[in-house]
Every structure is written in structure tokens, then in C-alpha cells.
Structure 1
Amino acid sequence: MKLFSWLRANEPTLDAATQARLRQLPAAKSLGECSLREQRWVVLDLETSGLNLNRDQVLSIGAVVIEDGAIDLGQCFERTLLRPGQSVNPSVLIHGLGPSALAAGSDPAQALLEFMEFVGDSPLLAFHAPFDQHMLTRALKDSLGYRLQHPFFDVADIAPLLCPQATLREAGLDDWIDHFKLQVEERHNASADALATAELALILFSRARQQQIDSPLKLQQRLGQWKRRQQSPSF
């Protein structure tokens, strides 16, 4: 009985309105054979208090939507999460999230719920997605008791898959921005980085279609094959 009491104590306490909104969230869709252009994508970037997957916290979320083969600037999301008493380390200040920005933030549970309402049933794109996926998954579980099941695509993997001729090793977002000569006016905050990632993704989707990869499912399959080859020992 003590075990179950401990489990209940770790579940977030949510009011009835929040619980009702959670129940109304659509389930994530399985990837289908629609074209890359037809698919609605949510491109996100997180700013966190550090890089520790188990200790650090999500501080802000920025996201844009790719739909009908273009970035829809009418569908943007930006929230700073308010965490009372949170200290600010130097890495946070780099991203412009000083004490005043954090103090003006939103309640984490409400901000995260609003984000999932924004996402709907769409797949997610991010640069170095495993980090964002882990941090978002943990934040949703801790704040809402919500289990994230949406497909996540890593643009850092899609780029070398589709551009094997690029002589870039362990390239970051800035490296790919320079490679494609993208004009990015702002970087290093969640919304700006999400927009830069979306611009890169559009170029990559065009490359994918040229290589007969024209559905989210086929892209996922090709990524899986590519990653297995990368992990295979070479002789």
C-alpha cells in the first residue's frame, strides 16, 4: 500500500479543467503514405537550464509549422516556462532568458498543455531531436502525467542522409545553415532556432523528393536504414 501511495504522490495534481483539456488532446497519428508536402509538421526547439537529461528543466519552447510545403508563420508557438525559485546559470543567459524573462513566464503545466494542443496529431521535427524528445517527454510526464507518443524526426540525421556529398562531420545547425547559405538573421533562442530548423527542413524535403522519398513513412524507413549502416562496423 505504501508503494502505491508513493506513486500517487508523484503524480501531478491537476484541476478539472486541465484534466478535461488533456482528455481532448488527439492521439498521435501513425506515419502514413501522404506526401511530405501534404503532411503538417511541427518544428520545435527547446531552451533548457542545462544538458543533464535527468536534472535540468525545459525553460522555453519555440515552434513553427510546415504545411502545404511552406512555413506557416500564422502558426507559431512561443512560451517561457515559469519555475519559481529557479536559479539562472550562464548558459541560460546566453539564450536571453534572464531572471525577468523567467519571472514573466507561464505555468509549466499550462504552457506544455497549450503546446500539445498546438501540436495536435502532427509529427515533430527538431535538430538533435533525441535531446529535445527526452526533455519534452520528461517535462510532460512531470507536469501533466502525459505520455508523449508522437513521431520525432532528427534534422541532424536527415541532412547527411540526403546530402552525403557534404563533407561535414558531426555538423551542428550553424554548419548546415552555412552549407546551404541560408540567411538567418537571429539564432540562439527557441523560436529563432525552430524557424532556422524549419528552413533547413524545407530544403531537405526537396532533396528527399528528388531521391524518391516522398512520404513521412518512407523517410522514417530510410533514416532507419541509414542509421543502421552508420552503426555497422567497417572493415
Structure 2
Amino acid sequence: MSLFSWLRPASPVLPDDLRQRLTQLPAIGELSECSLREQRWVVLDLETTGLNLNKDRVLSIGAVVIEDGAIDFSQQFERTLQCRELKVSPSVLIHGLGPNAIAAGSEPAEALLELLEFIGDSPVLAFHAPFDQHMLGRAVKEHLGHKLQQVFLDVADIAPLVCPQAHIREAGLDEWINWFKLEVFERHHASADALATAELALILFSRARQQQIHSPLNLQQRLSQWKRRQQTHSF
């Protein structure tokens, strides 16, 4: 046995039906050159025990689908995950998920696999996407022994890319909601935040098309160029 094998977490033992379903997940490829409107997008939001990328855990997941240029309310996903070692933290005051709600939640492996099946091979949109991608990737690895492979795009970067006139580069979701005068009736709940992010994304896609950004691949390329310019100007 390798010395370093002691450092690697053991792979979870999954029931046969879950292992079979994992093998049936679609392969994830490059972003498409289809139009932004034709692409199926999954807009994701997570509520977590805190903001520590290495220690905090996913508590709940909300997701909605953008397809054919609109939010498809027939395709929604919402799960609260059981977390046996949950300690009441200040974040409970924000997202409202206390011990009773967590205890009544879904078994994490089942819920996470259902999410991967829901996402399929669609690209994922999230506000501050690197955080959600990292936290979800950790949870998927821990509970399913699976590597998260979906492509994530950050709505927090798309917004200033296509709306530089807003001059709110480091803005949070609330600032962009206010700037576009969106009516949002609930916040800091995974499903509600996913819906608010989806509404914002639709506006941003419209602005992107006006700037000759027509496909998911083109959007990804423009984002990469924009972020390199931002990094250069910051020095």
C-alpha cells in the first residue's frame, strides 16, 4: 500500500442502483456554437454552512432552466441535504435552514446524483460561480466519488462584461438586481436566488447579442479575454 493512500479520502460505498445511474450520466464536452437562445442552461444556487471552501458544506440546492430564451418553470430542482454534523451558525439567520430542516432533508448521494441528472450536459450559470463550482465539486466527490465536469460560467463576470456602463465591477447579486430594477420577492433561499440569477441572465444574454456575442462558446471566449484585461489593469 502506498504511503500517500492514507492521505486520500476513501471512495464512498454506493448502492448498485446509484453506481449504475452514475455510469449513465452524459459525457461533458466543450461549449456549443449554437445560439445563446438555443442553448439549454441550468442556473444554480447553493446555500452552505459558511464560506470556507475547504470546511463548510452544502445545505441546499436550487436550480432552474433557461431554454428557448425563457425560464422554463416546468424544469426546476430543489433539495435540502441532510448534514448530520451540522452546528447552528450565523448563516442560519440568513438562509433559515435550521437543524430540523436539515434532518428532514434528502440523503446527499441521492440528491446530488439527481442534480447531475437534472443538469445533464448543459452549461451551468451561477452568481460567483467559482464558489458554487468548488463547493458542489467537493460534495459530489465526497458523496458519489465522482468528478464534477460541467462547464460553469459566472454571471458576476458576464454582467460587467456586457454592461460596463454600470461601473459596479465588484457588485453582488442585489446590486445588479437593483440596477436593472428587477422585482425579486425573496432572497437568500437557493431556489429564489437561482430564479433571480436566471432573470438577470436573460437580460445579460440580450445585451450580449447586441454586442455580437451569439453563442455559449463565444461568450466563454469573450469572458476569458475580459478577465485577462481586468487582471492586466489591476497591476
TM value normalised by structure 1: 0.96
CA distance in structure 2 between the partners assigned to 1:143 and 1:28 by the alignment = 20
Bigger Cα displacement from structure 2, 6-15 vs 214-223: 6-15
Listed as ranges, the matches of 1:13-52 within 5 Å are 13-52=13-52
Residues 169 and 21 of structure 1: CA distance in aligned 2, closer, same or farther (over 3 Å): same
Confirm or deny: 8 A CA contact 1:62 1:78 kept in the other structure: yes
Is contact 1:36–1:216 with CA below 8 Å preserved after alignment? yes
> Is this contact kept in 2: 1:48–1:92, CA < 8 A?
no
Q: Give the match for residue 181 of structure 2.
A: 181
Equivalent position of 2:139 in the other structure: 139
What is the CA distance between 1:175 and its match in structure 2? 0.2
Structure 1, unpaired ranges of 5+: none
Cα distance between partner residues in 2 of 1:165 and 1:85: 46
Deviation at 1:9, TM superposition (A): 6.0
Look up the SS of the partner of 2:141 in the other structure: helix
**Displacement of 1:4:** 7.3
Residue of structure 2 equivalent to 1:62: 62
Q: Report deviation, 1:152.
A: 0.4
User: Counterpart of 1:201 in structure 2: which amino acid?
Assistant: A
Q: Distance in 1 between matches of 2:26 and 2:44?
A: 19
Q: Determine the structure 1 residue equivalent to 2:201.
A: 201
Partner Cα distance (2:122, 2:114) in 1 = 14
Tell me how far apart the structure 2 counterparts of residues 145 and 93 of structure 1 sit (CA, whole Å). 32
Deviates more, 1:63-72 or 1:143-152: 143-152
Instruction: Letter of the 1:100 partner, please give it.
Output: N
Kindly state the Cα deviation for residue 5 of structure 1 after the two structures are TM-superposed.
Answer: 5.8
* 1:97 lines up with 2:97 in the alignment: yes
Deviation at 1:115, TM superposition (A): 0.3
Structure 2: gaps spanning 5 or more residues = none
In the alignment, the residues of structure 2 paired with residue 181 and residue 233 of structure 1 have an alpha-carbon distance, to the nearest angstrom, of 30
Post-superposition offset of 1:188: 0.7
**CA contact under 8 A between 1:46 and 1:190: conserved in structure 2?**
yes
Measure how far apart 1:234 and its partner are. 6.1
The sequence identity of aligned pairs, in percent, is 74
* Shift, 1:7, TM fit: 6.7
Aligned-pair distance for 1:92? Answer: 2.3
Structure 1 residues 130-168: Cα deviation after superposition (integer angstroms, max 9, x where no partner): 100100111101110111111100000000000011121
Q: Residue 166 of structure 2 aligns to a residue in which SS?
A: coil
Does structure 2 conserve the Cα–Cα contact (< 8 Å) formed by 1:124 and 1:153?
Answer: yes
Over 3 Å counting, the alpha-carbon distance change for 1:111 and 1:230 in structure 2 is same
User: Aligned partners of 2:92 and 2:228: how far apart in 1?
Assistant: 35
Q: Secondary structure of 1:165's match? A: helix
Query: Equivalents in 2 of 1:233, 1:197: separation in Å?
Result: 28
TM-score by length of 2: 0.96
Match of 1:73 in 2: 73
Shift >2 Å, 4+ stretches: 2-9
Separation in 2 of the partners of 1:89 and 1:225? 39
Sort the Cα spacing of 1:8 and 1:165 in 2 relative to 1 into closer, same or farther, 3 A.
closer
Partner Cα separation in structure 1 for residue 224 and residue 50 of structure 2: 29
Q: CA shift at 1:90, angstroms?
A: 1.7
